[in-house]
Structure 1
Amino acid sequence: MSPLAIVALLALTGYAIYQQTRRHEVVGGSRFKLAIIYGIVGFAVGGFSRPDSGVEWLLLVVSLGLSAAVGLARGRLTTLWAEDGRVWSQGTPLTIGLFVGLVVVKFAIGTACYFLQISDDGGFGEILVMIAVMVAFQAELIWRRAKPLGARTSDKTPAAG
């Protein structure tokens, strides 16, 4: 991974952490916006390779499963509350730690694969797509938790009460 890609990944990670420290309204229609952005950027910058061996396929499945599991955990642990006819969410230190942990684990897996000569062609885009998967699972679970509290389905839906 180039130094520029590492700086970009750190900037995107920092932005995601910042966003998690802020409270935001849960709106169903825009719940996948961040996941889509990360996914598009990830696919645009590349850094993917088709798995060539059983070990590479296993690593891909484990990595996707880990992203989904962390997303579900974060979706469950994110704080939700209703106020002024809207539903709000905010990350906690634990959800932020899970996010950072996923990025660190993904780097560690890639580094281990490189040194063990399992694969040397994963990159920046792959990490962003794994983050997109995590954010998508998290967003869906938060939405499912927020609907019974009265979350709006779109920005055009008036707030309750």
Structure 2
Amino acid sequence: MAIRKIVMHPSPLLTQKCEKVVKFDKKLATLLDDMHETMIAEDGVGLAAPQIGETIQVAIVDFDEGQEVIEMINPVVTAIGGEEIEIEGCLSFPGLFGEVERPFYVKIEAQERDGMLYELEAEGYEARAILHEIDHLNGILFEDKIIRVVSLEELEALEEAREEGEEE
């Protein structure tokens, strides 16, 4: 496994529509392992292949809650529902945070590293992360969806207030 370099905006790689994966081999497994190691090293929640220079439909999400890493190969959104506005960031946009409107619920079909098809449903924060990464695979950047930019100071104040509320 290896930590890969994150592709930063404004690289044109980030706005390309990615190619479907057709070979489920050791090279793909290595890429997925590298992506996970890179995401952890960068303190991220998700990572899409174009963010490390690979323009194929591969993305991962890991909420670090004792769950397995969600590996999404050739993902397709099959249903969405509700909407919410929350603050997002992106490893390819260091220091940029903003309010983004996304569906509250998502259902996807995707393939695992061995090519097996699966379905997944998610809500809230998990749905948001999954949709953010799928956007990357379609060349859609979160900066284009920002309703309002949030400063780092405002973000830290919101997180501090949330933590104080959880302690009570």
Q: Give me the TM-score of the superposition, normalised by structure 1.
A: 0.28
Larger of the two Rg values belongs to structure: 1
Q: Give me the TM-score of the superposition, normalised by structure 2.
A: 0.27
